[in-house]
Amino acid sequence: MRVTRESLLRIAKETAQERAYNDPDIIAAYLTGSLLNVDPMLGGTADIDIVFVYKTQPKQAREFVKLTPDFHLDISRRAKDDFKSPRELRSDPWLGYEMYDPILLYEREKFFDFVQASLRAGFDFEQPPLMLQRCRKLLSHGRQIWTDLTEVDSVGPKEIRKYMKSLYHVINAVAELSGPPIQERRLLLEFPARAEAAGKSELTATAFGLIDAKHIHADKIKSWVPDWKYAFKLASENPNVDIRIHAARMNYYEKAINFMLDGAIPLSALWPLFHTWTLSAEVLEGDHLNFWQTAASELGLLGAEFAERVDGLDHFIDDVDVILDEIAKENGLDELQSAGL
């Protein structure tokens, strides 16, 4: 089956229209994510990110639907009230960019134009005042999660998941200096270019180092793939696993990981592999948990070394905080930023 960006866009539109026809509570649908790019594929795979907007609060926030082994729908649901404050929307690091320039797929009432016009009104969305607000929110979220890690009695999948979530937000606090946040699968693949675009290339080594990508070779990551794959498959059958560990997403991750391992930045594959492995490990036991623990130990994320990583993350957060302060001062925004405006 030959799949192109155009055929995926057609599926997105047909899905939106069919769902809206059968559900009168849907007032709009739009496309976001990788399909907004000219080349959305990574390792020959892609998902179709559709957001449905409902009159009331939807019961299910997210859903995955398999189309082929390499392509699936990633459906998110939001309530209309999520968009009611233009001021909050413009400073939201996730929803702001999501609504800034998506592709409208369906509209039952004049929702989309009104929200987008409100989003783009007033201050320029991509200029320093709003950009810094969004970056600071990401950094603050990363700091809040980091705080939970400073006094842990033992380290397991839950703690390492929190560590990676904190690091994810801090990395994106830098990435959003030059554009939208980076999604999880492409995080370390795209971060070097985004850090360079922000004039902060030196942060790339820090980000990679905080998951020990400086000491792990591509061959080691390749050796982990079979154990990761089996853990993913087993965990996807557990109803208590994180929703992102879904059978429809196996190839989406595996082929992207292999593509990155053979690419220009092979160590970028470490993030999607170990992040999803950690999510899987939260519901695993026995040998399959032991395999993950071995990899975590080799990455310096278990035992006494975990405290050192948490301390390194603290320094990274501080460094990014200083950078944001410098940008604010350069743009005459230091007083506004300190006042939270």
**What is the per-residue pLDDT across 82-96, written as a single tens digit (0 to 9) for each?**
998 878 899 999 999
Same domain, 309 and 173: yes
Same domain, 17 and 98: yes
Q: Domain boundary residue among 120, 138, 168?
A: 120
Same domain, 147 and 296: yes
Same domain, 285 and 214: yes
Instruction: Provide the whole-model pTM.
Output: 0.95
Same domain, 165 and 305: yes
Same domain, 233 and 300: yes
Total of domains in the chain: 2
The 26-32 sheet, strands edge to edge: 62-68, 71-79, 46-54, 26-32, 103-107
According to DSSP, the residues that pair with 74 across neighbouring strands are: 49, 64
Q: Domain boundary residue among 90, 120, 150?
A: 120
Pairing outcome for strands 71-79 and 103-107:
unpaired
On whether the CB atoms of residues 282 and 158 are closer than 8 A, the answer is yes
pLDDT beyond 60 at 11:
yes
- Give pLDDT tens digits for 207-253: 999 998 778 899 999 999 999 999 999 999 999 999 999 999 999 99
How far CA 100 is from CA of 92, 114, 120, 311, in Å, comes to 11, 12, 7, 36
Same domain, 15 and 113: yes
- Give pLDDT tens digits for 135-153: 999 999 999 999 999 888 8
Could you give the CA distance from residue 104 to residue 50 in angstroms, rounded to a whole number?
10
Is 225 domain-assigned?
Answer: yes
pLDDT at position 341 is 43
- Give pLDDT tens digits for 284-318: 999 999 999 999 999 999 988 999 999 999 999 99
**Burial grade of 239 (CB within 10 A; 0-12, 13-18, 19 or more):** exposed
pLDDT at position 294 is 96
What is residue 29's DSSP assignment?
A: E
Identify the residue with better confidence: 335 or 23: 23
Same domain, 96 and 149: no
Q: SS3 for 34-78, per residue?
A: HHHCCCCCECCEEEEEEEEEECCCCCCCEEEEEEECCEEEEEEEE
Q: What is the mean pLDDT of the chain?
A: 93
- Give pLDDT tens digits for 170-200: 999 999 999 999 999 999 999 999 999 999 9
Same domain, 215 and 277: yes
Identify the residue with better confidence: 150 or 254: 254
Is 328 domain-assigned?
Answer: no
pLDDT beyond 50 at 43:
yes
Helix ranges (DSSP H) in 65-127: 86-90, 95-100, 112-120
Domain harbouring 107, CATH code: 3.30.460.10
Same domain, 108 and 134: no
Segment 262-270 shows an average pLDDT of 96
Q: Quick one: pLDDT band at residue 120, thresholds 50, 70, 90?
A: confident
pLDDT beyond 60 at 340:
no
Domain boundaries, position 181: 128-319
pLDDT at position 123 is 60
Is 326 domain-assigned?
Answer: no
Q: How many CB atoms lie within 10 A of CB 144?
A: 11
Q: Quick one: pLDDT band at residue 336, thresholds 50, 70, 90?
A: very low
- Give pLDDT tens digits for 74-85: 999 999 999 988
